[in-house]
Amino acid sequence: MLQTQQGYHWQLKDEHASIHFNAMASPCELLVDTLEPELVELLAKLAYAETKRIEHKFSRYVADNIVAKINSSCGQVVEIDQEVFQLLTFAEQCYQLSEHLFDITSGVLRKAWHFDCSDNLPSQQQVESCMQYVGWDKVKFEHNSIRLQPDMQLDFGGIGKEYAVSRVAQLCLAHAPNNSVLVNFGGDIQVSQAKKNGQAWHVGIEDPITGKAEQVLQLTSGALATSGDTNKYLLKDGVRYSHILNPQTGWPVVNAPRSVTVLASHCIQAGCLATIGLLYGADCEDFLQAQQVKFWCSR
Amino acid sequence: MQLIKFSNINGALAAATCTLLAGVSNAQADEKSNDWQFDTAIMYYGEPDRVQAVEGVVSATKDFGDEHVFSTKLVLDTLTGASANGAVAQTSAQTFTRPSGNGEYTVEAGDTPLDDTFRDTRVQLNLAWNQPWGANQKVGAGLHISNEYDYLSVALNANYALDFNRKNTTFSVAASYAADEYSPEGGIPLALSKMAIRGDFANDDAFNSGFDDTRIGESENKDTLDVIFGLSQVINRRWLVQFNYGYSQVDGYLSDPFKVVSLVDDTGSALGHYYESRPDSRSKHSIFAQSKYHFDSLVWDMSYRLASDDWGIDSHTLESRLYIPLSDSAWITPHVRYYQQSAADFYRPFVQGDLAEYMSADYRIGQMTAYTLGLKYTQKLSDGDELSMRLEYYQQTPENSGFNSPGQLADVDLYPSVSAVIFQLGYKF
Amino acid sequence: MKKQLLALSLMSLALSGCANLGVNPWERDLLAKPQMQLAAESTDMALDDHIYFSKEATSGGRSFAGGGCGCN
């Protein structure tokens, strides 16, 4: 049975329902351990609306959203709502906890770096001219306002999708308190709660290079997030420059794993750990070891 | 040897994640429920053999947007029972005239004289408006009306607050002016006049005339001006402190029309009971300091108040509350309060020889220590409502501040302790 | 009078120390909790104030000392 509605569709399978839509440049999927059409329709509608709401609000590519407003404010104070404040607060905490490596202002560096798998490295001068517009510590924000220096840019791309997964999982928990829902947005995954029968969801972890399901993980609760540079890198003189840029130097992190997957209780938490791990480059595994989380690195 | 390079940030990150996800869902819930918020409670207060009171409170608050907040509160309480009339206990039974002049009550030998005619119902209404004034200031104003069978109080108040240092420091000033009218049953007694007792008069007419001689009118007034200067300061992410200085000036009828002082002879026997007399003005100063500290999960609220007035009463109050979470939705709050006061200059448990210009045997302005022990349980319900239960035990221990007890007064308890139990149910929605 | 002077100097001490104290808006997660509000439990406080107003010689300090009732 296949239902098509605006933007999303769902079907009932043997033991669960699956919901599909496309958002945030990824295929989005929800698996629900129910066969009740009404509940599936409700969750599909809610998840789709919430995901689109977040995508529209925090995407860099939307012309008239709050991110565009902030990024084109030319040093003026911009009013923000509670949700933006909460995300900025979260970004601030990640910045502090990662020794200033996790920085949502580092997107400006993309003006110098074009990761097209070529060998076109920018000059140090080009990098330095971008660096003056990078640095979270230059951002001033309060409960209801933010001020960005002219030419600085915020980019929620590093946490937006994971945030959406966590929010949708939360919504599913609120509206389907007796069901388990697996939310999967292009490999960033969160389970709303364990199945009542104790069974696990089976999640395949792909090898980013071969694309084969390398191992199957039994996920009862919690979240998975993956960060990597599979298709975005530069290669020059045998050195592979990942698209993960160190906001302290303006240069790509060297010797980072190609892909990191972390298991944690919330998707946005797992995503941040994976990203921070990548930013530590060669020390990624040591860092994640210290976090006492389950993780998979492929080099 | 491998050095440990990385610390575990996962705990902090998990906390940040929870704040993010919880905060946003709350924020969206708040937007929806931009309606009236209610806080209701019903409280029982009981002193064995003395006063019992039941008090109900309904508070309602509405945010009209941008922190323009209207709040109103309705309080209803009812009081019954007996209260010490100030006279000393004797080794024989004593008879007193009721405050109304109609009838008498008898107190057994050795018992503290209690007037058992207290019965009152009170209605109180508060209205308040608070709003921001520019970016860093807040202003507010309020009205308070309280009406009893024999008492009416009307008060106006205003407040101003200024935030600075990234809203970490707040300076505030608040003032209140209250006008009270007291019309006790039986009228206002003449200070220092002797309580008329029917047995001392030949007939009812003589007694009535004698009783009327102790009355000076139907009602009396009192004005109270309160000013409080406050300073609150965020010390760090976990710690918040507040300091207040308060000044209070009360003018008018400050005596208690139901209280007497016993005149005793060398053997401690009461020769008569005289209506108390207090000065007609009182200036009070207080300093209040409060600290709130957030440990990893506990919150500790601690406060101290020092007060001093020109009646010679100094007091110290120490109070502590600890919020202990039991789960995400429930917590218990143990509460301890310690209070100690010195006696007013004119406090006399009894008088010998001559009456004083100002005198009162009201134990509440005598030397005293008191403590309160309490426990509150709060449960957040799935729909966001909050249910709470509170049980407290309050004990007052009046003390002798240096008076010798002549004759039979050595054999009776002049400073009896008073204990009370408080039980309260609360519901917020 | 001595007491008042002491209080005033304490207050000014607190005032002068302010500049370095405090947190940024995004560090108010704990301070935002209901238990950390100075006005927390205002209903309980008001009920207690009414009891202690009628049973003890001192009132106010935290808020107005008030008149407001005959309270025996």
- The ipTM is 0.88
Q: List CB contacts (< 8 A) between B8 and chain A.
A: 290-292
**Which residue type, as a one-letter code, is found at position B218?**
E
Given a contact cutoff of 8 angstroms between Cβ atoms, the answer to whether A213 and A204 are in contact is: yes
Please determine, for residue A259, whether its predicted confidence score (pLDDT) is greater than 90. no
* Residue A92 C-alpha, separation from nearest chain C C-alpha, in angstroms: 8
Nearest-CB residue to B27 (from A82, A97, A290): A82
Q: Which of B20, B67, B299 to mutate to test the interface with C (most CBs of C within 10 A)?
A: B299
Nearest-CB residue to C65 (from B118, B284, B394): B284
Residues facing B231 on adjacent strands: B171, B243
Given a contact cutoff of 8 angstroms between Cβ atoms, the answer to whether B153 and B179 are in contact is: yes
Per-residue confidence band for B160, with pLDDT thresholds at 50, 70 and 90: very high
Q: Cα–Cα distance between A208 and A259 in angstroms, integer?
A: 7
Share of chain A above pLDDT 90, in %: 23
Average pLDDT over residues B113-128: 89
B26, two tokens: 């709350």
Given a contact cutoff of 8 angstroms between Cβ atoms, the answer to whether B291 and B305 are in contact is: no
Please determine, for residue A243, whether its predicted confidence score (pLDDT) is greater than 50. yes
pLDDT of residue A237: 74
Q: List CB contacts (< 8 A) between C25 and chain A.
A: 85, 89, 141-143
Is A157 part of any known ligand binding site? no
Q: List CB contacts (< 8 A) between B19 and chain A.
A: 86, 89-90
**Tens-place pLDDT, residues B305-335:** 999 999 999 999 999 999 999 987 899 999 9
Distances in whole angstroms, Cα of residue B302 to Cα of each of A91, B240, B334: 34, 11, 12
SS3 of chain B: helix, strand, coil, percent, to 5: 10, 55, 30
What residue ranges of chain A are covered by domains with CATH 3.10.520.10? Answer: 2-59+161-194, 66-155+226-298
Burial B72-84 (b: 16+ CB within 10 A, else e): bbebebebebbbb
Q: List CB contacts (< 8 A) between B424 and chain C.
A: 44, 47
Please say whether the dihedral angle defined by the alpha carbons of residues A34, A39, A41 and A45, taken in this order, is positive or negative.
negative
Q: Cα–Cα distance between A216 and A285 in angstroms, integer?
A: 21
Q: Are C23 and B59 within 8 A, CB to CB?
A: no
Domains identified in chain B and CATH numbers: 38-428 (2.40.160.40)
Phi, psi of A33 (to 5 degrees): -85, 60
Please count the residue pairs, one from chain B and one from chain C, whose beta carbons lie less than 8 angstroms apart.
211
Per-residue confidence band for C67, with pLDDT thresholds at 50, 70 and 90: low
The half-sphere exposure of B254 on its side-chain side, counting CA atoms within 13 A, is: 18
- Assess B236–C contact: CB distance below 8 Å, yes or no: yes
- Assess C61–A contact: CB distance below 8 Å, yes or no: no
Q: Are A83 and B9 within 8 A, CB to CB?
A: no
- Assess B9–A contact: CB distance below 8 Å, yes or no: yes
Q: List CB contacts (< 8 A) between C26 and chain A.
A: 85, 88-89, 92-93, 141
Q: Cα–Cα distance between A119 and C47 in angstroms, integer?
A: 75
Q: Are C61 and B169 within 8 A, CB to CB?
A: no
- Assess B237–A contact: CB distance below 8 Å, yes or no: no
Q: Which of B59, B286, B346 to mutate to test the interface with C (most CBs of C within 10 A)?
A: B286
pLDDT of residue A232: 66
Please say whether the dihedral angle defined by the alpha carbons of residues A243, A248, A251 and A255, taken in this order, is positive or negative.
negative
Q: Cα–Cα distance between B419 and B412 in angstroms, integer?
A: 19
pLDDT of residue C5: 45
Please determine, for residue C8, whether its predicted confidence score (pLDDT) is greater than 70. no
B 27-56 → A contacts, CB under 8 A: 27-28
Q: Cα–Cα distance between B117 and A299 in angstroms, integer?
A: 89
Q: Does the domain spanning A66-155+226-298 belong to CATH 3.30.70.20?
A: no
C29, two tokens: 């997660």
Per-residue confidence band for C13, with pLDDT thresholds at 50, 70 and 90: very low
pLDDT of residue C18: 42
Helix (H, G, I), strand (E, B) or coil at B2: coil
* Residue B397 C-alpha, separation from nearest chain A C-alpha, in angstroms: 49
**Which residue type, as a one-letter code, is found at position B199?**
G
Please determine, for residue A90, whether its predicted confidence score (pLDDT) is greater than 70. yes
- Assess A83–C contact: CB distance below 8 Å, yes or no: no
Q: List CB contacts (< 8 A) between A89 and chain B.
A: 16, 19-20, 23
Is A275 part of any known ligand binding site? yes
C40, two tokens: 């927390």
Cβ-count burial of A267 within 10 angstroms (0-12 exposed, 13-18 middle, 19+ buried)?
A: buried
Q: Are C25 and A93 within 8 A, CB to CB?
A: no
Q: Are A268 and B17 within 8 A, CB to CB?
A: yes
Residues in Cβ contact with B305 at an 8 Å cutoff, skipping those fewer than 6 apart: B286, B287, B288, B289, B315, B316, B317, B319, C58, C61, C62
pLDDT of residue A120: 78
**Tens-place pLDDT, residues A6-31:** 688 888 888 889 999 988 888 899 99
Q: Cα–Cα distance between B286 and B246 in angstroms, integer?
A: 5
Distances in whole angstroms, Cα of residue B257 to Cα of each of B182, B283, C51: 9, 21, 20
pLDDT of residue A200: 85
Given a contact cutoff of 8 angstroms between Cβ atoms, the answer to whether C58 and B307 are in contact is: yes
Q: Which residue of B has its CA nearest to A165?
A: B21
pLDDT of residue B34: 58
Query: So what's the architecture of A2-59+161-194 in CATH?
Result: Roll (3.10)
Please determine, for residue A193, whether its predicted confidence score (pLDDT) is greater than 50. yes
**Tens-place pLDDT, residues B239-254:** 999 999 999 999 999 9
Q: List CB contacts (< 8 A) between A143 and chain C.
A: 25
Chains in touch with A (3+ beta-carbon pairs under 8 Å) read B, C
Residues in Cβ contact with A225 at an 8 Å cutoff, skipping those fewer than 6 apart: A162, A165, A187, A188, A189, A261, A262, A264, A267, A268, A270, A271, A273, A274
Cβ-count burial of A187 within 10 angstroms (0-12 exposed, 13-18 middle, 19+ buried)?
A: buried
Nearest-CB residue to B20 (from A90, A273, A286): A90
Count helices and strands (H / E) in chain C: 2, 0
B 283-302 → C contacts, CB under 8 A: 284-288, 290, 292, 294, 299, 301
* Residue A91 C-alpha, separation from nearest chain B C-alpha, in angstroms: 9
Helices (H), A65-156: 66-71, 82-97, 124-131
**Which residue type, as a one-letter code, is found at position B193?**
S
Beta-carbon neighbour count of residue A276 at 10 Å? Answer: 25
Q: Which residue of A has its CA nearest to B8?
A: A291
**Tens-place pLDDT, residues B22-36:** 765 544 444 444 578
Q: Are A82 and B7 within 8 A, CB to CB?
A: no
Please determine, for residue B364, whether its predicted confidence score (pLDDT) is greater than 60. yes
Average pLDDT over residues B411-427: 95
**Tens-place pLDDT, residues B253-296:** 999 999 999 999 999 999 999 999 999 999 999 999 999 999 98
pLDDT of residue A250: 87
* Residue A90 C-alpha, separation from nearest chain C C-alpha, in angstroms: 8
- Highest-confidence segment of A94-103, A213-222, B310-319, C12-21: B310-319
Q: Cα–Cα distance between A66 and A43 in angstroms, integer?
A: 27
Average pLDDT along chain B: 91
Please determine, for residue A75, whether its predicted confidence score (pLDDT) is greater than 90. no
Please determine, for residue A221, whether its predicted confidence score (pLDDT) is greater than 70. yes
Strands B330-341 and B270-275: unpaired
Average pLDDT over residues A79-83: 88
Its pTM stands at 0.66
B 157-196 → C contacts, CB under 8 A: 157, 165-169, 174, 176, 178-180, 182, 184
Q: Are A85 and C29 within 8 A, CB to CB?
A: no
